[in-house]
């Protein structure tokens, strides 16, 4: 009788150790991610839109009228062609990032996840790692693929991409990093809100609507501090990660690429921290 009671109590303990390792959690999250139709559609959209926009701008940009295009402008133009679609592909990343976590809450699968991982937080971190790395790889393939596909087209507009230029390569990698981090941003909001429509609306509101509101306030008040604060919003900071900085004149209201990375990481870390605390305290 005592043995049965002891077993029952230990089985009901929420913090008992699970036999599932973090590597097993990552494999489980990978299977969940690739089995979703939304994953295929969102990643396919990122690739198609990314390459398509790059080819379109490369084919329709006017040729220079006089002289040789300066190297700094060539590098900046080449980066813009390769990363032009980031503003659109980031939306797909946001939607998918929210669905990765809210989909489980909507179907009730989150209870099975928490049963397998009673401490809960490794499951959250596993989702972040798998989704973040996968999105970064997809973004990297898309951006570098766009750069390679459009490279033969750009000399027609006076631009020759230099794949040995560190600033050029860092801008391309930064674009992929932005795509991944903005998706993690939405994933963390999804873990907090636990509702697909609410999470997507909240994430898009911060990324798309909030900058417009701040811009309007800045125009009305002419307050310089608002302009400087706008540079620290997630989208503004993240977009600096793909900036070509060779020959760029520093501005008080813009961040360096590494500063943009740190700011976006700080946003993600803050939201993940809130999500982790709520995930531990709330019922599934």
**Cα gap 251→262, rounded to integer Å:** 18
CA atoms within 13 A on the CB side of 273: 6
- pLDDT tens for 145-186 read 999 999 999 988 888 888 999 999 999 999 999 999 999 999
Contacts of 103 (CB under 8 A, 6+ apart): 36, 38, 109, 196
CA atoms within 13 A on the CB side of 202: 20
The distance from CA 98 to its chain's CA centroid, rounded to whole angstroms, is 11
% of the chain beyond a pLDDT of 90:
62
- pLDDT tens for 90-125 read 999 999 999 999 999 988 899 999 988 999 999 999
pLDDT for 225 beyond 90: no
Provide the pLDDT confidence category of residue 222 given band limits of 50, 70 and 90. confident
- pLDDT tens for 17-72 read 446 788 999 999 999 999 988 999 999 999 999 999 999 999 888 877 666 778 78
Residue listed under structure tokens 């089985």: 11
**Cα gap 258→42, rounded to integer Å:** 27
pLDDT for 143 beyond 70: yes
Query: How many residues are recorded in the chain?
Result: 284
């Amino acid at each position: 009788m005592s043995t049965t009671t002891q077993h029952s109590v230990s089985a009901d303990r929420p913090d008992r150790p699970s036999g599932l390792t973090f590597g097993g959690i990552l494999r489980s999250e990978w299977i969940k991610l690739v089995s979703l139709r939304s994953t295929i559609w969102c990643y396919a959209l990122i690739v198609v839109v990314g390459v398509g926009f790059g080819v379109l701008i490369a084919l329709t940009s006017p040729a220079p009228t006089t002289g040789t295009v300066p190297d700094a402008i060539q590098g900046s133009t080449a980066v813009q062609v390769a990363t032009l679609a980031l503003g659109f592909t980031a939306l797909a990343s946001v939607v998918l990032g929210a669905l990765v976590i809210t989909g489980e809450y909507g179907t009730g699968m989150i209870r099975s996840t928490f049963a397998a991982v009673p401490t809960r937080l490794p499951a959250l971190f596993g989702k972040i790692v798998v989704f973040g790395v996968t999105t970064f790889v997809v973004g990297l393939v898309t951006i570098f693929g766009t750069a390679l596909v459009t490279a033969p087209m750009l000399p027609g507009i006076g631009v020759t991409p230099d794949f040995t230029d560190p600033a050029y390569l860092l801008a391309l990698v930064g674009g992929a990093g932005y795509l991944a981090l903005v998706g993690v941003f939405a994933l963390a909001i999804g873990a907090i809100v636990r509702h697909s429509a609410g999470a997507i609306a909240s994430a898009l509101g911060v990324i798309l609507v909030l900058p417009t509101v701040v811009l309007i306030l800045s125009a009305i008040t002419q307050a310089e501090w608002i302009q400087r604060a706008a540079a620290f919003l997630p989208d503004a900071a993240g977009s600096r990660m793909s900036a070509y900085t060779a020959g760029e004149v520093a501005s008080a209201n813009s961040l360096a690429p590494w500063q943009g990375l740190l700011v976006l990481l700080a946003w993600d870390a803050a939201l993940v921290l809130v999500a982790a605390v709520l995930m531990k305290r709330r019922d599934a």
